[in-house]
Chains A and B, each alone.
Chain A
Amino acid sequence: ETGVTQSPTHLIKTRGQQVTLRCSSQSGHNTVSWYQQALGQGPQFIFQYYREEENGRGNFPPRFSGLQFPNYSSELNVNALELDDSALYLCASSNPYSGGQETQYFGPGTRLLVL
């Protein structure tokens, strides 16, 4: 087990709704990254948070937004849901200043289905 937890595990929403996904990072990790994994694809980087600030963003529209809290847990918010947002959303925690290559440890993910 990586110690990274995510909630909820599964979620069903309809088009146009909003959703909030949550992630608790591994103890000692101050960085959280979010990924979207569509069926049959590799994870795609959404954004990363380091010390409560966005620290890099992938090619996702502004309706994907996030937060990181002082305890390093994080939220991913998606507004105006579209059918193509149906995917596995993965959170990964890391400590980029732990020395050596930075390794990201993934939570179990949240499966989102948009109808």
Chain B
Amino acid sequence: RKEVEQDPGPFNVPEGATVAFNCTYSNSASQSFFWYRQDCRKEPKLLMSVYSSGNEDGRFTAQLNRASQYISLLIRDSKLSDSATYLCVVSTNTGNQFYFGTGTSLTVIP
């Protein structure tokens, strides 16, 4: 079983739409959670950390459900520039290994 599972998509949405990505993880001892964004042929870049209480950064909202071992990312009012692959990342409490999902591809259409 994979450590982190994501729906690979692709998600094709119109500008202004709201889109949600989901991710599940298998290790209940996981302590740190992140969403990274990766543009085509570029390196992953941190989008946001995910905290137990949930957190918001502008149009982006991340949620963590430890009981269900589930992480989500909500993007409101999608922009063309949001088109990218979104990677769900989980780390154990030792922090020395990040487990990445396969990524979810998003294309925002004019």
Name A's B-contacting residues (CB within 8 A): 2, 31, 33, 35, 40-45, 48, 50, 55-56, 58, 90, 92, 94, 96, 101-109
A106 and B101 form a contact (CB under 8 A): no
Q: If the complex has contacts A90-B44, A103-B46, are A42 and B101 also in contact, measured as CB distance less than 8 A?
A: yes
A42 vs B34: C-alpha distance in the bound complex, in angstroms?
14
Beyond A41-B102, A90-B44: 7 further Cβ-contacts under 8 Å?
A: A33-B97, A33-B98, A42-B100, A42-B101, A92-B98, A102-B91, A104-B46
B98 and A108 form a contact (CB under 8 A): no
A-B pairs, 7 with minimum CB distance: A42-B100, A56-B96, A106-B43, A102-B95, A101-B32, A42-B102, A43-B100
Query: What is the chain A residue whose CB lies nearest that of B50?
Result: A101
A48 and B96 form a contact (CB under 8 A): yes
A44 and B97 form a contact (CB under 8 A): no
Contacts of A43 in B (CB 8 A): 44, 87, 98, 100
B45: CB under 8 A from chain A? yes
A101 and B49 form a contact (CB under 8 A): yes
Mostly helix, strand, loop or mixed at chain B's interface? Answer: strand
Q: If the complex has contacts A42-B87, A103-B49, are A108 and B43 also in contact, measured as CB distance less than 8 A?
A: yes
Q: Which of A41, A43, A56 has the most CB of B within 10 A?
A: A43
A40 vs B45: C-alpha distance in the bound complex, in angstroms?
17
Contacts of B4 in A (CB 8 A): 42
Contacts of A103 in B (CB 8 A): 34, 46, 49
A49 vs B38: C-alpha distance in the bound complex, in angstroms?
24
Q: Which of B34, B87, B94, B96 has the most CB of A within 10 A?
A: B96
Contacts of A102 in B (CB 8 A): 32, 91, 95
A56 and B98 form a contact (CB under 8 A): no
B99: CB under 8 A from chain A? yes
B44 and A55 form a contact (CB under 8 A): no
A45 to B: closest C-beta gap in Å: 5
Question: A-facing mask of B27-64, CB < 8 A → 1, else 0?
Answer: 00000101000000011111001000000000000000
